[in-house]
């Protein structure tokens, strides 16, 4: 599995249910990586999408404790084990963990790669991702050039798990 997220300097990922910044280059990166693949998210992340609907051209898997929840166009799972079993049905697809905070935390042990958009700024945040730079389990393997959009400097970085 692959984690994909955008973080600020403090590894913040969200504030009050919203992304810290919406940058077109980051959105294009996300779209390029996840299109025609599987994305796994929590219910709140799904509900933060435009029109609160699954993203097109992807297999959308939503992890929720609410057994009464319904969403057309998404596969609903109620446990990590159920998600893991479900993705086995798509062996030719890459599987991306797309949030939110608790879903990142629960699935990080299953991930071997992390694509992180790193903002060279800090923002008010109430949701955080584990700092992969401070973890002996992860190694930075690639960093793009620095880009700037809407006054925010950022780069795309890749981490690989070195300890399982």
Rounded (5°) CA angle 51-57-58: 90
Give me the phi and psi of 40, to 5 degrees please.
-115, 130
d(CA 108, CA 114): 9
Q: Could you report the per-residue pLDDT of 22-36, keeping only the tens digit for each? A: 999 999 999 999 999
Q: Which domains does the chain have, with CATH numbers?
A: 21-143 (3.40.430.10)
Q: Could you report the per-residue pLDDT of 99-112, keeping only the tens digit for each? A: 999 999 999 999 99
Predicted pLDDT at 144? 98
DSSP 27-50: HHHHHHHHTTSEEEEEHHHHHTSG
Q: Is the pLDDT of residue 161 over 80?
A: yes
- Residue percentage of the chain with pLDDT more than 90: 95
As given in the structure block, the two tokens for residue 129 are 């991702």
Cα 143 to chain centroid, rounded: 18
Report yes or no: 146 and 153 within 8 Å, Cβ to Cβ. Answer: yes
SS3 73: coil
Over residues 39-52, the mean pLDDT reads: 93
As given in the structure block, the two tokens for residue 95 are 């599987």
- Name the DSSP class of 122: -
d(CA 113, CA 139): 10
Predicted pLDDT at 164? 61
């Amino acid at each position: 599995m692959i984690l994909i997220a955008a973080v600020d300097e403090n590894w913040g990922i969200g504030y009050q249910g919203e992304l810290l910044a919406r940058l077109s280059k980051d959105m294009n990166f996300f779209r390029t990586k996840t299109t025609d693949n599987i994305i796994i998210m929590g219910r709140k992340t799904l509900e933060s999408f435009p029109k609160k609907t699954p993203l097109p051209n992807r297999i959308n898997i939503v992890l929720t404790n609410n057994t009464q929840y319904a969403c057309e166009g998404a596969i609903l799972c109620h446990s990590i084990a159920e998600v893991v079993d479900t993705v086995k049905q798509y062996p030719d697809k890459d599987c991306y963990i797309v949030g939110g905070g608790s879903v990142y935390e629960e699935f990080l042990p299953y991930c071997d790669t992390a694509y992180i958009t790193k903002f060279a700024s800090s923002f008010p945040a109430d949701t955080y991702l584990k700092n992969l730079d401070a973890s002996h389990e992860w190694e930075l393997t690639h960093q793009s050039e620095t880009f700037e959009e809407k006054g925010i400097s950022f780069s795309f970085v890749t981490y690989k798990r070195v300890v399982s």
